[in-house]
Amino acid sequence: MDVVVIGGGQAGLSAAYHLRRTGFVPVRQAAEGDRTFVVLDANDRAGGAWQHRWESLRMATVNGIHELPGFAVPPLGDDESSRDALPPYFAAYEQRFDLDVQRPVRVRAVRRADDDPAGRLVVDTDRGSWSARYVINATGTWTRPFLPHYPGRDRFAGRQLHVADYVSATEFTGQRVGIVGAGISAVQLLDEISRVADTVWFTRREPEWSDEPFDIPARVAAIAGVEERVRRGLPPGSVISVTGMHWTPWARAAQARGVLVRHPMFASLEEGGARMPDGSFEPLDAILWATGFRAAVDHLAPLRLRTPEGGIRAADSRALDEPRLFLIGYGPSQSTIGANRAGRDAVRAIVRDEALLTA
């Protein structure tokens, strides 16, 4: 096997598309002498993380998705739920380019085959092991929801959930709900839950709202910031930490309804609610943690690439301490357009390596 792609979301499919285009063949269809690849995906069906996002995340409220390379997204209504609308597009994409994604296959570990003179990487899965010259890791973040630790978190008797487990606002009808986080998902869910419940919004810092459109120079600057973090081996950090929040019509409407009233983070949780830093108490029935995700890279642990700061040093999607490994949809490429580009660039780098080796 030449290339194992781990993950069949936007990033993994982009890589598979470019592998196909440069003459690599899915391993199940390969003939003697073909350069081969395989895409391993833990989900039962196509669509990457989109299939799991909450029902109320509509095409109008996603930030704007970028189509996969070489195949336009069919026209979708603003009102369509992204989790219903996008997976069929991904499935059609896999078929159209015959990417032969193998699923459900969960990768448990990637390790070095030190006894192999060809210096391969071994990919251990719940369906056996693969040995590859290159691994393109495209496992996203959805499977690693992040919950910060606060004293008393285990004592709180109400319901706690992360946005990854959020289904719909109606579950909270008539309740008093604490929503933690300063990102887009916190604000979107605050907007919709506040229509059926009392909400209390907790953030660590005062959210920084910008009236400026998040235009191309702003995006380039934000991406360059994350690129630098990743090159230095720092954890990539949340998108909001580099972009800030930009007013949208729906956020303005929520503000006009008086919903975007921010409270500082609570000092601790108690059985019936949150103890505030000034000693006051906020009774709560439920807490929704909109506190983001981390890169799903635990299976790379045997490669020992983590820096003391907790990141993996990478530049142009390639791990600096393991050149056979690419990380796409990671750090600066953690967007649909970034994932597309990183998939293309990883394949170009592999092709360049091969040209150098055969020159």
Ligand X SMILES: Cc1cc2nc3c(=O)[nH]c(=O)nc-3n(C[C@H](O)[C@H](O)[C@H](O)COP(=O)(O)OP(=O)(O)OC[C@H]3O[C@@H](n4cnc5c(N)ncnc54)[C@H](O)[C@@H]3O)c2cc1C
* Residue ranges in contact with ligand X by CB under 6 A: 6-12, 40-43, 48-49, 53, 62-66, 106-107, 138-140, 142-143, 185, 293, 296, 299, 329, 334-336, 339
Question: Is the Cβ of residue 107 or residue 251 nearer to ligand X in the bound state?
Answer: 107
Least Å distance, CB 39 to ligand X, is 9
Closest chain position to ligand X (CB): 9
Question: Is the Cβ of residue 199 or residue 336 nearer to ligand X in the bound state?
Answer: 336
Tokens representing 265? Answer: 């983070």
Please tell me the distance from the alpha carbon of residue 6 to that of residue 17, in angstroms, as a whole number: 14
Please tell me the distance from the alpha carbon of residue 299 to that of residue 126, in angstroms, as a whole number: 12
The partner residues of 137 in beta bridges, in order of sequence, read 6, 327
C-beta of residue 202 within 8 angstroms of C-beta of residue 265: yes
Please tell me the distance from the alpha carbon of residue 176 to that of residue 350, in angstroms, as a whole number: 53
Please tell me the distance from the alpha carbon of residue 29 to that of residue 194, in angstroms, as a whole number: 52
Least Å distance, CB 198 to ligand X, is 24
Question: Is the Cβ of residue 10 or residue 269 nearer to ligand X in the bound state?
Answer: 10
Question: Is the Cβ of residue 138 or residue 312 nearer to ligand X in the bound state?
Answer: 138
Least Å distance, CB 103 to ligand X, is 8
Question: Is the Cβ of residue 64 or residue 217 nearer to ligand X in the bound state?
Answer: 64
CB contact burial 304-332 (16+ within 10 A = b; e otherwise): ebbeeeebbbbeebbbbebebbbbbbbbb
